């Protein structure tokens, strides 16, 4: 198998590449940045932008399958920039893959495309897209996913995976942020609601992509479908934070800040963006507070059935690996 | 005069364009996005990226002067993306302008290029760049500014303006955020330190660019120099917020949250980014808290002397215009 992977410089894309190489596949990476560590692993690295139709098409030629894990993430930025990266980029890659005669396309979607502000408790893939999205990211990932599903055809099989909250060794930034807050002061949790959330260990997020690739074929049960992916083991959200803190060698959070206090500070901080020189900041803190008070977990039986996906580790086992990673200095 | 303006779709760039048109100049805009409102004003709109050397050079041809107001702002994103936009983009535009035979280049810099964590109280342009910068934005704006100053030559005059905290009618996003926080709940200030900060009314920020353009010529006193720009009237930071709230029809902030409480919430929110699905967020809240407890005001006598710059309105007069703008529905 020769696989084209986008987003190979990222956390999930990098894990997909490592898994593909371990499975004996030949891998080509297509991304804007330069990633010498991928080249050292024997990956053929092409640099370019998905906004460039011809470059996207050229990247597909000679491959058997596409894993499209690249996306513009976050809440900061203009809708048109998210649209260009997530929707137009996906459209260009789909067109390039079809033109090059590939017949499998595995898309990394996002569970946030179904979030509508309500508690997400055991939802399956019948959950509809909401009337309005909570961010430009979600809105454009939903549009991109619809393009992917619509492109599914007799000679071109597509599938979208929606892994929730991926974590694990190597996820430098966000895991470091949590570890850092643990060291920066007495970290406290916000509110007493300890909502259940799903999460996905990095190796299992990558494995889901491999499972999908193996099962995907024109006419296969998973062709043209979406699948939620997680460890299948929802936990209270601050328990997850505490496990990450423990893995990083910090004390767990025990004290609690009241939600009204947190909301007041969140507002005051947002009013102060201006004083810090920011001209264009979304209501990030209020968004986070809303997430903290909403459950987010899914029914992953469809992925188990159609993809043969099964988590390979428990959350505790994954945390042990994270701990080893922290202990070895995050290498 | 035929002027090339970058960043014309933004708050400051748009104001510079309006002023240039009012002065009878002919204006060409170069930006990635499409801005029909600029075309309606008679601006020649070229679309393209500053990353494209040839496009940047082509945009310069036939113009007399460049106003380079485009920049990648904020704290969210990779260093290489800031570098590409702010440093390489400026380098490409400088090269294009010189090759096209233009002899004046007005750069919009940032006062944050001298911030080193200390109180900034009446600093003038002798303040050095710090050993380390507080953000990718500041770091790359400092590099870009140095390119601009270095490009100053007998046949090519350059200048960098550093306006601090620009505000006024039309600044949709951040002014709306403040107004919104005023309506969303009982907004409180953070801490009792009411540090003095400089700010710049939008029309005066644009006027500073016009003054610089008029005085700029090879060998002029301002050629190859930097200038802080502000209203020359530092105010306590929460007074500014309260004036914006008043202009938007909201009640002023009276109650205070303690700094330690705000810091605890800031940390807890940052630890929670992960739970909200963000994989790559800077310590934004802590950054804002640091800004709130640090004075930021400048000595603008050099701009008065070399550029003939003088603020045209008082802060109170500017706030009246902001109030009119809010009253007319933000049009």
Share of chain A above pLDDT 90, in %: 77
Sign of CA dihedral B263, B264, B269, B270: positive
pLDDT of residue A280 exceeding 80, the answer is no
Per-residue DSSP letter, A78:
-
**3-class secondary-structure state, position A114:** helix
**Mean pLDDT in residue range A118-142:** 96
Report the complex ipTM.
0.84
Token pair of B236 as six digits: 């306590």
Beta strand pairing call for A235-236 and A196-197 = antiparallel
Q: Is residue A281 scored above 80 in pLDDT?
A: no
Report how far residue A17's alpha carbon sits from residue A40's, in angstroms, rounded to the nearest whole number. Answer: 12
Residues 265-324 of B with CB under 8 A from A: 265-281, 283-289, 291-292
Contact (CB, 8 A) for B326 and B250: no
State the catalytic residue, choosing from B79, B83, B129, B137.
Answer: B137
Cα separation, B122 vs B146, whole angstroms: 22
- How far is B327 from B331, CA to CA, in rounded Å? 9
Nearest to A272 among B76, B171, B292 (CB): B292
pLDDT for residue A12 is more than 70 = yes
Residue A257, beta-bridge partner list:
A190
Q: In what order do the strands lie in the sheet with B225-229?
A: B44-47, B26-31, B2-6, B65-68, B104-108, B157-163, B225-229
CA distance A154 to chain B (A): 35
Work out the percent of chain B whose per-residue pLDDT is above 70.
98
The dihedral built from the CA positions of residue B43, B49, B50 and B53, taken in this order, carries a sign that is negative
Residue B274: the pLDDT is 83
Rounded distance between C-alpha atoms, residue A44 and residue A33, angstroms: 13
**Interchain pair A77, B76: CB under 8 A:** yes
CA–CA min distance A12, chain B (Å): 11
- Residue B83's pLDDT is 96
Residue B254 CA to residue B189 CA, distance in Å, equals 7
Is the pLDDT reported for residue A282 higher than 80? Answer: no
Confirm if A114 and A128 have CB atoms less than 8 A apart: yes
What pLDDT is recorded for position B172?
66
Q: Using one digit for the tens of pLDDT, what is the confidence trace for A20-49?
A: 999 999 999 999 888 999 999 999 999 999
- In 10 A of CB A214, how many CB atoms? 15
Tokens of A233: 């083991």
Name the nearest CA neighbour of A191 among A315, A291, A272.
A291
The CA distance from A156 to the nearest CA of chain B, in Å, is 31
pLDDT for residue B147 is more than 90: yes
Q: Is the pLDDT of residue B3 over 80?
A: yes
Chain A environment of B278 (Cβ under 8 Å): 73-75, 174
Chain A residues whose CB is inside 8 A of the B178 CB are 271, 274
Phi, psi of B233 (to 5 degrees): -150, 75
Helix (H, G, I), strand (E, B) or coil at B245: helix
- Give the per-residue pLDDT at A279: 72
Length of chain B (residues): 331
Count chain A–chain B contacts defined by CB atoms under 8 A.
Answer: 201
- Whether A257 contacts chain B with CB within 8 A: yes
Chain A CB contacts of B284 under 8 Å are 284
**Alpha-carbon gap, residue B159 to B309, rounded angstroms:** 14
A321: burial class by Cβ within 10 Å (0-12, 13-18, 19+)? middle
**What is the pLDDT, as a whole number, of residue A172?**
66
Whether B281 shows a pLDDT value over 90: the answer reads no
Distance CA A79, CA A88 (A): 12
Partners of B76 on chain A (C-beta within 8 Å) are: 74, 76-77
Residues A31-47 as b or e (16 or more Cβ within 10 Å = b): bbeebeebeebebbbee
Return the DSSP state at B203. H
| CB neighbourhood size of B131 (10 A) | 6
Restricting to B residues 149-208, those with a Cβ less than 8 Å away from any Cβ of A are 165-167, 171, 173-175, 177-178, 180-182, 184-190, 197
Question: Which tens digit of pLDDT belongs to each residue from A181-210?
Answer: 887 767 899 988 889 999 999 999 999 999
What pLDDT does B331 receive? 65
Mutation pick from B263, B276, B322 vs chain A, by most beta carbons of A within 10 Å, is B276
Return phi, psi of residue B163, to 5°. Answer: -75, 140
A180/B244 touch (CB, cutoff 8 Å), yes or no:
no
Distance CA B118, CA A202 (A): 41
Rounded to whole angstroms, the Cα distance separating A35 from B267 reads 32
Residues of B in contact with A113 (CB under 8 A): none
b/e per residue, B87-106, with b = 16+ CB within 10 A?
A: bbbbbbbbbbbbebebbbbb
Q: How far apart are CA B237 and CA B192, in angstroms?
A: 11
In a mutational test of the A interface, the residue from B278, B289, B295 whose CB has the highest number of chain A CBs within 10 Å is B278
Quick one: average pLDDT of A223-237? 97
CB contact under 8 A, A177 and B266: no
pLDDT tens digit sequence for A286-330:
888 998 899 999 999 999 999 999 999 999 999 999 999 989 987
Distance CA A62, CA A64 (A): 7
SS3 of A163-199: the string is ECCEECCCCHHHHHHHHHHHHHCCCCEECCCCCEECC
B328 touches chain A (CB under 8 A): no
Instruction: List, in sequence order, the alpha helices (H) in chain B.
Output: 11-22, 36-40, 53-60, 79-82, 89-99, 136-150, 172-184, 202-215, 237-247, 259-272, 284-292, 301-302, 315-327
CB contact under 8 A, A272 and B190: yes
Q: What average pLDDT does this structure show over A57-74?
A: 96
Residue found under tokens 């102060």: A272
> Does residue A331 register a pLDDT over 70?
no
**DSSP code of residue B23:** T
Compute the residue count for chain A. 331
A275 pLDDT more than 90: no
Rg (alpha carbons) of chain B, rounded to whole number: 20
Contact: B177, A281; criterion CB under 8 Å? yes
Query: Which member of A137, A201, A227, A309 is catalytic?
Result: A137
A247's enclosing H/E stretch is helix A237-247
**pLDDT score at A233:** 98
Residues from chain B contacting residue A167 (CB–CB below 8 Å) = 274
8 Å CB contact of B275 and A74: no
Q: What is the DSSP string of A258-313?
A: -HHHHHHHHHHHHHHTGGGT-S----HHHHHHHHHTS-EEE--HHIIIII----SS
Give strand pairing partners of A196: A236
Q: Could you count the other beta carbons within 10 Å of the beta carbon of residue A146? A: 16
Question: pTM for this structure?
Answer: 0.85
Is B137 assigned a catalytic role?
yes
How is residue A107 written in tokens?
A: 């898309």
With CA atoms as reference, the chain B residue closest to A242 would be B271
Name the token pair of A206: 């990558």
Q: Using alpha carbons only, give the angle B173, B175, B179 rounded to the nearest 5 degrees.
A: 110
| Average confidence score pLDDT of chain B | 93
How many whole angstroms separate alpha carbon B285 and alpha carbon A89? 32
Chain A interface includes B240 (CB < 8 A): yes
Which one has a higher pLDDT value, A193 or B49? B49
Nearest chain A Cα distance for residue B100, angstroms? 28
Check if the beta carbon of residue B293 is closer than 8 Å to that of residue A183: no
Q: What are phi and psi of A181, to 5 degrees?
A: -65, -35
pLDDT at B171: 77
Neighbours of A324 (CB within 10 A): 11
């Amino acid at each position: 198998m020769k696989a084209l992977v986008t987003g190979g410089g990222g956390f999930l894309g990098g894990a997909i590449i490592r898994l593909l190489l371990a499975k004996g596949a030949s891998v080509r990476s297509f991304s804007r940045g330069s990633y010498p560590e991928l080249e050292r692993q024997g990956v053929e690295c092409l640099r370019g932008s998905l906004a460039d139709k011809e470059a996207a098409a050229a990247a597909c030629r000679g491959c058997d399958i596409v894993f499209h894990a690249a996306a513009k993430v976050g809440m900061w930025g203009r809708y048109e920039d998210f649209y260009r990266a997530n929707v137009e980029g996906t459209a260009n890659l789909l067109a390039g893959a079809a033109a090059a005669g590939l017949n499998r396309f595995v898309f990394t979607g996002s569970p946030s495309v179904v979030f509508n502000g309500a508690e997400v408790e055991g939802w399956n893939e019948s959950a509809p897209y909401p009337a309005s999205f909570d961010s430009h990211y979600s809105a454009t990932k939903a549009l991109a996913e619809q393009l992917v599903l619509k492109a599914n055809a007799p000679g071109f099989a597509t599938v979208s995976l929606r892994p929730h909250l991926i974590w694990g060794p190597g996820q430098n930034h966000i895991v470091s942020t949590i570890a850092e807050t643990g060291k920066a002061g007495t970290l406290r949790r916000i509110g007493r609601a300890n909502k259940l959330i799903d999460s996905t260990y990095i190796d299992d997020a990558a494995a889901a992509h491999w499972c999908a690739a193996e099962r995907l074929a024109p006419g296969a049960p998973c062709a043209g479908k979406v699948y939620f992916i997680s460890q299948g083991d929802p936990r209270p959200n601050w328990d997850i934070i505490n496990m990450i803190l423990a893995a990083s060698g910090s004390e767990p959070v025990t004290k609690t800040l009241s939600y009204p206090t947190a909301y007041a500070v969140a507002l005051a901080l947002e009013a102060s963006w201006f004083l810090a020189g920011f001209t264009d900041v979304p209501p990030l803190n209020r968004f986070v507070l809303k997430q903290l008070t909403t459950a987010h977990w899914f029914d992953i039986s469809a992925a188990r059935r159609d993809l043969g996906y099964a988590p390979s580790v428990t959350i505790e086992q994954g945390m042990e690996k994270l701990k080893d990673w922290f202990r070895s200095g995050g290498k």
